[in-house]
């Protein structure tokens, strides 16, 4: 009976020793795991800060992109509006250009006729017109118009006579 008891005690002792060693290894593993978790938590904290900073930077970048997109859309709308306005102005300009060309083609023969009439004038004709104390109304109006075109300050028959007194008056009219 005692030998059986000793054998059972030794088996139990061996079993307890194995469990003890097993628990020791388990505790070592838990301790190692706890250290690794602590290190990982430290890394995680650092990475959380980095992620937080990058998240903030990304949010700021997204806000900037959004603002610039809004500005670009506004500028695009303004450009479209300006484009439409320019098209309308181009249409008006085309009509005015056509009207001006029509008026010019109608005025060119009259200009050529005036040039020929001007070439037929000589200094004696101008002297005769200057000699009038009170010229005919049509002559006075034509002379005053020439005074206006020449940019004189005073528009009168007197200033017209002074202008015609210039020896280069006829040649200046042809140019």
Question: What average pLDDT does this structure show over 46-75?
Answer: 96
pLDDT for position 172 = 83
What is the per-residue burial (b if ≥16 Cβ within 10 Å, else e) of 85-106?
eeeeeeeeeeeeeeeeeeeeee
C-alpha–C-alpha distance, residues 8 and 119, integer Å: 151
Q: Using one digit for the tens of pLDDT, what is the confidence trace for 102-138?
A: 999 999 998 888 888 888 888 888 889 889 889 999 9
- 122 phi and psi, to 5 degrees? -130, 180
State yes or no: pLDDT of 46 exceeds 80.
yes
Measure CA 74 to chain center.
11
């Amino acid at each position: 009976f005692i030998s059986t008891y000793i054998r059972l005690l030794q088996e139990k002792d061996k079993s307890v020793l194995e469990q003890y060693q097993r628990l020791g290894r388990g505790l070592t593993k838990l301790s190692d795991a706890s250290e690794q978790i602590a290190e990982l938590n430290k890394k995680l904290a650092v990475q959380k800060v980095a992620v937080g900073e990058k998240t903030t930077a990304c949010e700021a970048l997204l806000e900037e992109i959004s603002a610039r997109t809004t500005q670009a859309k506004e500028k695009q709308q303004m450009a479209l509006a300006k484009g439409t306005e320019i098209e309308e102005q181009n249409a008006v300009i085309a009509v005015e250009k056509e009207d001006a060309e029509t008026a010019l083609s109608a005025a060119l023969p009259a200009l050529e006729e005036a040039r020929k009439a001007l070439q037929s004038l000589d200094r004696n004709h101008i002297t005769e017109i200057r000699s009038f104390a009170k010229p005919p109304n049509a002559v006075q109006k034509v002379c005053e118009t020439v005074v206006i075109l020449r940019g004189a300050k005073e528009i009168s028959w007197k200033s017209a006579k002074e202008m015609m007194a210039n020896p280069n008056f006829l040649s200046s009219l042809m140019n």
